[in-house]
């Protein structure tokens, strides 16, 4: 099938991808209106923004995590967003790399702390060059399918890294005016002189390619999905990716390099520096203004994430960690009780010890299919409403130590097995482009 289109008479010279009233871009425009290494001192209320949406607007947040340590950090991020954002929040989570236990903990967290969630996935197109490394696959899912991962009624979405703690109301960022750009990122800080030798974008290929434009960090960004789809930004990014990814030396930081490389054709709106503070690149002088704190890796010290979190964020991180840990332990206990009950029923009924029985739903809305994964964790398919309901009335804070949570050293090293393409679909699901 061939689709043929033509412009209407009198409209031959108009750009169909340009918004109504949008001026032609000036090729000589200075994209560096604000210094990369300085915070914008203007009153936030004075900055141009999108008109305020109704009070019932839901703030959509997109995130992904793999491995027990990052899932722990992701739960802390959830709570930091909900604590500081007055509007309703809905988290959209890539389900491909979630551990079975994490899929059971998220509903309980949502019930207790009052947020919405949905697990999303997208089948990798057969015609698009596929990554084989798991980390690079995760990076690819962060940027390549933004136009097709979410329902059309989601107008905007904010990506927040799992190892980030939010200290401001995300509504402010969500309604920000992007001046026609499809997405907005924060430029890397230049404040910390100790990191000068690691600023690769200041020399060589990147300096020549950027031509004075900033190199942005991908730990947090806002996407105007309507504008993104209108200019076919997803198709453009996939074309550029397909061309560059076949060279193993290209796109070393895939989710970050790709939008920065493509910004000559897909413009990036630069956010004020305060929207993403990272100790490694920004230094402590500007920490007090930080609206989000990212636990980005320090190539000089290589400090572990958890020790960095306690040192940099302090009591707030400890409090949020205790809250998520309390919910996680309750879910773990529930799964252990269910597994013990299944074992007793199997023994009493003369069933074989190996292999769970498949069947209908048991009382309480829980499925009768219990599946252990490769790491020994148990995944229960079904509703955890009973657990979540009990947690909703529980007190704040964590449970006692030593119950069901692996030591932190082990958590940093253990990767949860990928279950892409397996298991139930909890939310918006897709098949192929």
Residue 96 lies in a domain: yes
How confident is the prediction along the chain (433 residues), in pLDDT tens digits per residue? 565 767 788 777 776 656 555 555 554 444 444 333 333 444 444 343 454 555 578 999 999 999 999 999 999 999 999 999 999 999 999 999 999 999 999 999 999 999 999 999 999 999 999 998 999 999 999 999 999 999 999 999 999 999 999 999 999 999 999 999 999 999 999 888 888 888 999 999 999 999 999 999 999 999 999 999 999 999 999 999 999 998 988 999 999 999 999 999 999 999 999 999 999 999 899 999 999 999 998 888 899 999 999 999 999 999 999 999 999 999 999 989 988 998 888 888 765 555 554 444 333 333 333 333 433 333 333 444 444 444 444 444 333 333 333 444 444 433 333 343 333 333 344 433 3
How many domains does one find in the chain?
1
Distance CA(307)–CA(303), nearest Å, equals 7
- Residue of 424, 421, 333 lying closest to 96 (CA atoms): 421
**What is the model's pLDDT at position 139?**
94
Rg (CA), the chain: 23
Residue 349 lies in a domain: no
- Residue of 388, 390, 355, 391 lying closest to 371 (CA atoms): 355
Residue 334 lies in a domain: no
- Residue 195 has phi, psi (to 5 degrees) of -100, 10
For residue 242, the 8-state DSSP code is H
3-state secondary structure 272-329: CHHHCECHHHHCHHHHHHCCEEECCCCCCCCCCHHHHHHHHCCHHHHHHHHHHHHHHH
3-class secondary-structure state, position 159? strand
Residue 53 lies in a domain: yes
Residue 277 lies in a domain: yes
Under 8 Å between Cβ of 162 and 77:
yes
Q: What is the CATH number of the domain that holds 78?
A: 3.90.550.10
Residue 141 lies in a domain: yes
First to last CA, the chain: 16
Q: What is the pTM of this model?
A: 0.72
Q: Which residues contact 114 (CB under 8 A, 6 or more apart)?
A: 82
Distance CA(195)–CA(190), nearest Å, equals 8
H or E element in which residue 218 lies: strand 216-224
Under 8 Å between Cβ of 261 and 255:
no
Residue 58 lies in a domain: yes
Range of the domain at 196: 47-316
Under 8 Å between Cβ of 77 and 63:
yes
**What is the model's pLDDT at position 213?**
96
**What is the model's pLDDT at position 260?**
98
3-class secondary-structure state, position 21? coil
Under 8 Å between Cβ of 77 and 117:
no
Q: Which residues contact 424 (CB under 8 A, 6 or more apart)?
A: 381
Which residue is listed with tokens 């993104």? 228
Task: For 25-93, give the DSSP string.
Answer: PPTT--S-SS-TTS---S-GGGS-BPPPPPTT-EEEEEE---SHHHHHHHHHHHHHHHHH--SEEEEEE
Residue 210 lies in a domain: yes
């Amino acid at each position: 099938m061939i689709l043929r289109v033509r412009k209407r008479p009198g409209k031959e010279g108009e750009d169909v991808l340009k918004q109504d009233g949008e001026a032609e871009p000036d090729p000589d425009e200075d994209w560096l209106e604000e210094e990369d290494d300085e915070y914008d001192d203007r009153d936030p209320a004075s900055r141009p923004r999108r008109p305020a949406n109704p009070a019932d607007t839901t703030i959509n947040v997109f995130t992904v995590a793999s491995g027990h340590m990052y899932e722990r950090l992701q739960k802390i991020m959830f709570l930091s967003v909900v604590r500081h954002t007055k509007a309703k929040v809905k988290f959209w989570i890539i389900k491909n790399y979630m551990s079975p236990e994490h899929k059971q903990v998220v509903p309980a967290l949502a019930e207790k702390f009052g947020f919405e969630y949905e697990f999303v996935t997208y089948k990798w197109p057969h015609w698009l060059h596929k990554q084989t490394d798991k980390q690079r696959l995760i990076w690819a899912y962060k940027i390549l399918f933004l136009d097709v991962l979410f329902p059309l009624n989601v107008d905007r979405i904010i990506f927040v890294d799992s190892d980030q703690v939010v200290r401001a109301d995300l509504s402010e960022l969500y309604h920000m005016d992007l001046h026609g750009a499809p997405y907005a990122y924060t430029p890397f800080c230049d404040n910390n002189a100790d990191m000068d030798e690691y600023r690769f974008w200041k020399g060589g290929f990147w300096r020549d390619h950027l031509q004075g434009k900033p190199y942005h960090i991908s730990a947090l960004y806002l996407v105007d999905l309507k504008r993104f789809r209108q200019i076919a930004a997803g198709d453009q990014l996939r074309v550029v990716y397909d061309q560059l990814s076949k060279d193993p030396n290209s796109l070393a930081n895939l989710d970050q390099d790709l939008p920065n490389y493509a910004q000559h054709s897909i413009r990036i709106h630069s956010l004020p520096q305060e929207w993403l503070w990272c100790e490694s690149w920004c230094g402590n002088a500007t920490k007090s203004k930080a609206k989000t704190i990212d636990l980005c890796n320090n190539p000089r010290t290589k400090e572990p994430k958890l020790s960095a979190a306690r040192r940099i964020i302090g009591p707030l991180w400890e409090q949020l960690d205790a809250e998520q840990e309390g919910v996680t332990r309750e879910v773990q206990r529930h799964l252990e009780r269910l597994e013990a009950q299944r074992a007793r029923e199997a023994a009493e009924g003369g069933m074989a010890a190996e292999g769970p029985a498949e069947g209908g739903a048991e009382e309480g809305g829980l499925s009768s299919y219990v599946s252990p994964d490769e790491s020994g964790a148990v995944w229960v398919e079904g509703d955890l409403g009973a657990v979540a309901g009990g947690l909703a009335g529980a007190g704040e804070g964590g449970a006692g130590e030593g119950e069901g949570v692996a030591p932190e050293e082990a958590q940093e090293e253990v990767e949860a097995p990928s279950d892409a393409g397996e298991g139930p679909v909890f939310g918006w699901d897709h098949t192929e482009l």
